[in-house]
Amino acid sequence: MEGLFWVAAATIAFVGSHFLLSHPLRRPLVAALGEGAFLGLYSVVAVVTFVAMAWAFRATSASAPLWPVGDTLWAIVTAVMLLASVLLMGSLIRNPAMPTGGVPGKVPEAALGAFSITRHPMMWAFALWGLCHVAVYPVAKNIVVALAVIVLALVGAALQDRKKARLQPDFWQAWESKTSYWPFVAVATHRTRLGGFRMHDLGGGLVIWLAATWAHIPLSGWAAGVWRWIY
């Protein structure tokens, strides 16, 4: 239990500092320190709290799994992780939360590729990663860390929506009308069509999916993804 306490403490520090520095403390700290110094402080805090979380995780023994994990659950998670990989790769060109780059421009006529699934493809990639890892590794320390990633991603995405709606109301209202926060909702409600994926999204997502799941073998000692049925 002591180890789990430190996992939880480090995880709360990681997530809490991110939200505090991204929102209520950002403006006063930028005013006091300047943009460059603030970004430096933000990076240092993020790295230190992440390393602390990783150290506590590795130092804590795994508890008994909360439920059995069989091939059916593994197959579902493997498919969802492929979707997460495509979303991640689809978000890496330009700004992951702004289809026109770092500043608003002309609103695209349609949401394409990863943005046709959700307007927050990177955040949902992280959230799906968290959900999948809870599903197939249901031990206490992993659930704490994975849930923190989910909260950080999805609450962060919602706060991004609020901030952009306040700062860029015309652009963001038009963009929201073509997209959805929740995956596939814009497609289901006929606000956009699923499509427009680039080779970068699909091919890159496939490569990331295969490489990341294979990396579980040397890093953790057990196979994940399709490698579970190959090795």
Domain extent at residue 8: 1-61
Count of domains in the chain?
Answer: 2
Comparing 197 with 32, the larger pLDDT belongs to 197
Rounded Cα distance, 196 and 115, in Å: 9
Tell me: do 50 and 82 sit in the same domain: no
Tell me: do 18 and 87 sit in the same domain: no
Give the helix, strand, coil percentages of the chain, each rounded to 5.
70, 0, 30
Tell me: do 186 and 117 sit in the same domain: yes
125-151 residue pLDDT tens:
999 999 999 999 999 999 999 999 999
Tell me: do 18 and 121 sit in the same domain: no
Tell me: do 54 and 92 sit in the same domain: no
Tell me: do 71 and 42 sit in the same domain: no
21-73 residue pLDDT tens:
887 888 888 888 888 888 888 899 999 999 999 999 999 998 999 999 999 99
Q: Label residue 10 by pLDDT band (50, 70, 90).
A: very high
Tell me: do 136 and 215 sit in the same domain: yes
For the chain, the average pLDDT equals 90
Q: Label residue 103 by pLDDT band (50, 70, 90).
A: low
Tell me: do 23 and 83 sit in the same domain: no
Tell me: do 95 and 141 sit in the same domain: yes
What three-state secondary structure class fits 191? coil
